[in-house]
Structure 1
Amino acid sequence: MLSAFRSARKSLGRFLFVFLALFAAACVPAGESSAPRDTRPGAVKVALLVPGGSGNASDQILADSLVNAARLAAADLSGVTIDLRIYQTGGNPAQARAMALQAADEGAEVILGPVFAQEANAAGVALAGRGLNVLAFSNNPDIAGGNVFVLGPTFDNTARRLSSYAVRNGKTRIMIVHERNTAGELGGSAIQRGVAAAGGTVVAVSSYEFSQAGVASAAPGIVRTARETGANALFLTADTAGALPLLSQLLVENGADRETTKFLGLTRWDVPSQTLGLPGVQGGWFTLPDPNLYAQFQARYGAAYGSPPHPIAGLAYDGIAAIGALARQGRGFSTAALTQGSGFVGVSGIFRLHSNGTNERGLAIAEIRNNQVVVIDPAPRSFSGSGF
């Protein structure tokens, strides 16, 4: 099993995506002085808050990749000039607050970042009276609202999309299986809402202690409950760096019939790629961003910087793309402008922001077949598609 399963999960205040820890490629170093500011008249002043300067190597890799992606997006804009100003937060809420205030004093029109939830919350509170909105890279909906918007993909978005597809395809009796930790509880609640919105029925909810022993102990009962309730889908909150490898294997070994009971995943099952070879996930469904668009971004980023982007670097590109689109429209960056119903197009597909600070992203549905990812329902290209 993946060794990360043995270690305790970071709190949601800092935890963003499990696959952050799986990224090891080096990026081009970036910093406040690594490129001149664009001071041409009419340039949109954007403050980019990144977790550099903490002394943590993984934070610096993430910071550099976010800066690179933002610069790539700014260079791609037509008819709009971005004055991108970089502020290092050190991954620290107090420093994020100070940098946000400094950015405001230096004329920032909108804040892009920071990454971690506590940082984003601190920046949002500091700027609440300054008329500046914060487009954070977090996926934690607890900090969303007011002047803080989260760009990261949320459990609710994934649960709605996958529940809708499952119910439309006959998987109407769904059993939720989640870890007994913060992420598992939040994920389970999101699935409950998603299934209800799709018109399906949650026939049972089962949980397990977040440990190898806990999974092994719970697996027989999960399979038994699925049979007794007539569940035709098991919706799992487990991820690839946690319980998924062991859980999927033990569910099958204990008699779960994948022909009649489909495994659904709340998280990405294709990262890392070795997960695709696990016997227990074969035939399972999960969501992912538009793979064609993201592949184009990866190729362009690699060509520009000589290494692959960090898994969440695309969020910085998306933020600049949205800011550029609004600048072309001459609408400014008010809440009303940011939450336009038509949304925006980024490197992972379409997305839009809601007035409550959360977001909605166009996701594809994929199935694992013969150790490969097969898209079985493409990501929608507009917010009137069936995925919504």
Structure 2
Amino acid sequence: MFAVFNRARKIVLTATAVAATALTAACVPGPTTNSGPTINTNKPVPVALLVPRGSAQRGDDVLAQSLENAARLAIADLNGVQVDLRVYDTAGNAATAAAVATQAVNEGARIILGPVYAEAANAAGIAAAKRNVNVLAFSNNTSIAGGNVFVLGSTFENTADRLAQYAVRQGKRNMVVVSDNNAAGMAGRDAINQAAVRTGMNVSGSVSFDLSQQGVINAIPTITSRVRQTGADVMFMTATTAGALPLLTQLLPEAGIRTTEVQYVGLTRWDIPVQTLALPGVQNGWFALPDPVKDEAFRARYQSTYGAAPHPIGGLAYDGIAAIGALVRAGQSDALTGAALTQPAGFQGTGGIFRLRPDGTNERGLAVATIKDQKVVIIDPAPYSFAGAGS
């Protein structure tokens, strides 16, 4: 679920399912401060995990179990750091999330991981702020990060920056942005535009389309005309494999926008599901993904331990515990304050390095990949550190 909140934290503008990345949101506005509870590092650190178990939404119980499993897997890897994990069910409900967040801090939680869905994460963040407790939400919506809420999910801004930087290094300078006419598409478009500014690329055109078969078909002449008129060498798309991407990448080459002449770039994962790799139109396209070696190692370990694959965002719970463990290991009582959480070296997670920023957003070290002969090929590996990331 992708949701956008206004700064009053009350209005959900729109929501739409977006592939398997479970785009989610939480919001407590205002700048992140150095506040946070002190801890006794000689004792187990109480950590609350808020999961959507009990929700009426299909698959939420599976997601909840995957998050809990991943968190416990991370705890087993902490080597000397003790974590007292306490799991609370939100039922995917805002009022319940606020209540259990309050219960968690009353019962001693020094930091909260989760919850998942927009209203629930928002409510939990507000409740925890009253007790000076930070929240690491399973979210990737940067518009609602800040205050005591940090988002753990890979963000549009992070992905757009990575791909735009790579494009510039390859001599690309002129892009057309093609975006879905919905909340996720508009957020993705804005992230791409901002990345273009930061990297010096020129956005020579922007075309949006309604998320329907006819909407995509109707947009093809406009996209084609814009690319040709501007001489764009990059077409940056927000479409997902579960949405318009298959149709776009079929119709655009047929209309003459060939991948050998214009570089197709995707803001979302083009390798999930695996059937997407067989589509002719995605061949030679660029997209970003977590460090595949580390990601596969986590998935294999999870599968071996629990007998099933983790949920696509299950690894975020592992990352949260890994960050907490790295900070607590240093033995400082302020390990869970905003200043500690945003230390620039970052952390090692299931998909490689990541770090939290003072504004509540995050940066993840992503790889750039392409598709050749129906296989994923890494063309620019994920970085190994932010000038020395913590482990």
TM-score, scaled to structure 1: 0.90
Deviation by residue 1:109-143 (Cα, 9 ceiling, x = unmatched): 10011011221111111111211000000111222
CA distance in 1, matches of 2:362, 2:259: 32
For residue 285 of structure 2, what is the aligned residue in structure 1? Answer: 284
Is this contact kept in 1: 2:347–2:355, CA < 8 A? yes
For the pair 1:370 / 2:368, whether they are aligned, the reply is no
Cα–Cα, structure 1 residues 265 and 329, in superposed 2: closer, same or farther, change >3 Å?
same
> 1:179 Cα shift?
1.1
- Partner of residue 353 from structure 1, selected from 351, 356, 368: 356
CA distance in 1, matches of 2:206, 2:110: 46
For residue 339 of structure 1, what is the aligned residue in structure 2? Answer: 342
Is this contact kept in 1: 2:2–2:18, CA < 8 A? no
For residue 114 of structure 1, what is the aligned residue in structure 2? Answer: 115
Is this contact kept in 1: 2:114–2:121, CA < 8 A? yes
For residue 72 of structure 1, what is the aligned residue in structure 2? Answer: 73
CA distance in 1, matches of 2:17, 2:378: 25
Structure 1 residue matching 2:20: 3-state secondary structure: helix
CA distance in 1, matches of 2:94, 2:285: 39
> Partner letter of residue 208 of structure 1?
F
Is this contact kept in 2: 1:120–1:143, CA < 8 A? no
Gaps of 5+ in 2: 5-11, 23-40
CA distance in 2, matches of 1:107, 1:126: 14
CA distance in 2, matches of 1:282, 1:195: 24
Higher mean alpha-carbon deviation, 125-134 vs 230-239, is at 125-134
- Partner of residue 383 from structure 1, selected from 377, 383, 386: 386
Is this contact kept in 2: 1:289–1:349, CA < 8 A? yes
Deviation by residue 1:200-242 (Cα, 9 ceiling, x = unmatched): 1111111111111010011122112101101001000000000
Written as runs of structure 1 = structure 2, the 5 A alignment for 1:199-348 is 199-331=200-332, 332-348=335-351
For residue 151 of structure 2, what is the aligned residue in structure 1? Answer: 150
Cα–Cα, structure 1 residues 384 and 201, in superposed 2: closer, same or farther, change >3 Å?
farther
CA distance in 1, matches of 2:260, 2:56: 50
Cα–Cα, structure 1 residues 71 and 127, in superposed 2: closer, same or farther, change >3 Å?
same
Higher mean alpha-carbon deviation, 46-55 vs 97-106, is at 46-55
> 1:20 Cα shift?
5.2
> Partner letter of residue 143 of structure 1?
I
CA distance in 1, matches of 2:132, 2:17: 27
> 1:56 Cα shift?
3.3
Is this contact kept in 2: 1:16–1:116, CA < 8 A? no
CA distance in 1, matches of 2:154, 2:364: 7
Deviation by residue 1:251-299 (Cα, 9 ceiling, x = unmatched): 1110002112000000000010000111111110000000000100011
Equivalent residue pairs, number: 359
> 1:324 Cα shift?
0.2
CA distance in 1, matches of 2:101, 2:291: 32
Higher mean alpha-carbon deviation, 100-109 vs 126-135, is at 126-135
> 1:16 Cα shift?
7.3
Higher mean alpha-carbon deviation, 65-74 vs 208-217, is at 208-217
For residue 195 of structure 1, what is the aligned residue in structure 2? Answer: 196
Gaps of 5+ in 1: 1-8, 22-39
Written as runs of structure 1 = structure 2, the 5 A alignment for 1:155-194 is 155-194=156-195
CA distance in 2, matches of 1:10, 1:296: 28
CA distance in 1, matches of 2:319, 2:80: 17
Deviation by residue 1:4-33 (Cα, 9 ceiling, x = unmatched): xxxxx8755676752158xxxxxxxxxxxx
For residue 125 of structure 1, what is the aligned residue in structure 2? Answer: 126
CA distance in 2, matches of 1:138, 1:10: 9
CA distance in 1, matches of 2:387, 2:201: 21
Deviation by residue 1:300-339 (Cα, 9 ceiling, x = unmatched): 0011000010011110000000000010012320000000
Is this contact kept in 2: 1:16–1:138, CA < 8 A? no
Structure 2 residue matching 1:18: 3-state secondary structure: coil
Runs of 4+ in 1 over 3 A off after TM superposition: 9-17
CA distance in 2, matches of 1:324, 1:194: 32
Structure 1 residue matching 2:109: 3-state secondary structure: coil
Coordinate RMSD, CA, aligned = 1.6
Structure 1 residue matching 2:370: 3-state secondary structure: strand
> Partner letter of residue 358 of structure 1?
T
